[in-house]
Amino acid sequence: MPYRAEFRCFNGCEGSYAVTEPMYRCPKCDGLLQVVHDVEALADRSGPVWMKLFDERYRQNSWPYGSGVWGKREWVMPQVPDETIVSMYEGGTNLFWAERYGKQIGLDDLWVKLCGNSHSGSFKDLGMTVLVSVVRMAIQQGLKVKAIACASTGDTSASLAAYGAAAGLPVVVLLPYGKISTAQLVQPLAHGALVLGLDTDFDGCMAIVQRLAAEGIVYLANSMNPLRIEGQKTVAIEIVQQFDWQIPDWVILPSGNLGNASALYAGFKLLKDLGIIARYPRLVVAQAENANPLYRAWSAGKRTVDPIVARPTLASAIQIGNPVSAPRAVQALEAMNGIVEQASEQELCDAAARADRTGMYTCPHTAVGLAVLQKLVERGTIQRGERVVSVSTAAGLKFTEFKVRYHESEIEGVRADLANPPVKLKPDYGSVVDAIAKRFS
Ligand SMILES: *Cc1c(COP(=O)(O)O)cnc(C)c1O
Ligand SMILES: [Zn+2]
């Protein structure tokens, strides 16, 4: 393969490193790393040639191209050989026109990209297939670590445990005990990972796993590791592909650790560098009001993010106060003329319930995105005719407790105007007829 990708310092220090090196920070300035592709080499094929190749591979079954990630392998991680790839057919997720919900909030052209329709139920699979494949390659070349590890708010751990198990590699996950959904907790247990529940929050788990990685005890699978971002960036490429290689006007993304915001930008940037798109959509980063360090910084005109202690939020996967990828997200917002907005617990519950009434089944994080979208439409920032993509980050089915508590009107401090509890009846024909008549009079 004539293409290659390597690690370089995000802040621009000199030096490049093999992607199989177990390193997570620049050895010179201690800043973040990024994966840099040889764009000149990739430009040996024209835009139309790449588009045709990607369209031919899309959702086909010849290994490994059916995966939405590996179907674009030259742009993602060219040096991993076929037999080393650990893939479970990630990506290729549906992008659908949310006609009824869109019209209700004043939009004619709203689309939802359902990244949660994936192997472990969240977009995290897109990055994890790349990371675990590269780790397998590194181990084949002699890397020695006890396990692959991550701190998680529930979805990263589920994904890492699944891909680790698929490859037969040991996995350790550090979770904030009692702060993730039952489904999310069960996933790594079922896959045989060592699950460590710590009496802290995500940021506390992250600090410990970073130290384990720095001491060489584990290999770090958090999105601080830029390998994850390479896989996740295919969401941007896939959205453009699904619109017949046209860009939408806006992309809304619920964000916590801020890796995915920078991944979207990386995808759009490569499309632009290779001449497939001429400009960027505008990026909206949506945060929960209870975990809003980027919102606070951005709205104060600051370009560095001060850590906060995140308060509990129903959007538990984005309950993060010290986002590791903040500098990457700031770069993405600047390049994509971005906006950062927040949603309260009430607003996210309202948006989730309302969206579900139009046939979606929104996870609370996706609801943060939808609530923020509604604000921007009401404010006139986003116009009726513009094409908007709301990125849905996880499957609603992972958050049953959230749905049940809402419909039982049991979420403290939240008015459940759309609660729809089951109607319990005697097994009696007349009572059933009455109940139908009462609801649909
Ligand atoms: C991980 C996650 C996010 C946040 O992504 P970041 O890259 O941490 O900003 C949002 N929603 C869900 C469901 C997630 O699992
Ligand atoms: Zn550096």
| Span 143-197, pLDDT tens digits | 999 999 999 999 999 999 999 999 999 999 999 999 999 999 999 999 999 999 9
**Closest residue (by CA) to atom 14 of ligand 1?**
317
CA 14 – ligand 2 centroid, Å: 7
Specify whether the CB–CB gap between 122 and 87 falls below 8 A.
Answer: no
How is 204-242 classified by DSSP, letter by letter? HHHHHHHHHHHTTSEEE-STTSHHHHHHHTHHHHHHHHH
The Cα 379–Cα 375 span in angstroms is 6
What SS3 state is found at 97?
Answer: strand
The Cα 189–Cα 229 span in angstroms is 25
* The residue to which tokens 């994904």 are assigned: 159
* The residue to which tokens 């993405």 are assigned: 332
Torsion angles phi and psi, residue 389, rounded to 5:
-115, 125
Tokens of 418: 């759309």
Count CA atoms within 13 Å of residue 128 on its CB side. Answer: 31
Sign for the pseudo-dihedral over CA of 200, 202, 205, 207 = negative
Whether residue 64 has a cis bond before it, omega within 30° of 0: yes
Strand-by-strand arrangement of the 5-9 sheet: 16-17, 5-9, 33-37
- What are the domain boundaries of the chain? 95-119+229-407
Cβ(158) to ligand 1 under 6 A?
Answer: no
- The ligand with the least distance to the CA atom of 30 is 2
Cβ(392) to ligand 1 under 6 A?
Answer: no
Q: Are strands 110-114 and 95-97 parallel, antiparallel or unpaired?
A: antiparallel
Q: Are strands 110-114 and 388-392 parallel, antiparallel or unpaired?
A: parallel
The Cα 265–Cα 251 span in angstroms is 10
CA 254 – ligand 1 centroid, Å: 7
Report pTM: 0.97
Specify whether the CB–CB gap between 407 and 131 falls below 8 A.
Answer: no
CA 32 – ligand 2 centroid, Å: 7
In order along its 441 residues, the chain shows pLDDT tens digits of 789 999 999 999 999 999 999 999 999 999 999 999 999 999 999 999 999 999 999 999 999 999 999 999 999 999 999 999 999 999 999 999 999 999 999 999 999 999 999 999 999 999 999 999 999 999 999 999 999 999 999 999 999 999 999 999 999 999 999 999 999 999 999 999 999 999 999 999 999 999 999 999 999 999 999 999 999 999 999 999 999 999 999 999 999 999 999 999 999 999 999 999 999 999 999 999 999 999 999 999 999 999 999 999 999 999 999 999 999 999 999 999 999 999 999 999 999 999 999 999 999 999 999 999 999 999 999 999 999 999 999 999 999 999 999 999 999 999 999 999 999 999 999 999 999 999 998
- The ligand with the least distance to the CA atom of 320 is 1
| Terminal-residue alpha carbon distance, the chain | 67
Torsion angles phi and psi, residue 148, rounded to 5:
-90, 140
Listed in sequence order, the residues at least 6 apart from 186 whose beta carbon sits closer than 8 Å to its beta carbon are: none
What CATH number belongs to 95-119+229-407?
3.40.50.1100
Angle between helices 124-140 and 155-167 (to 10 degrees): 40
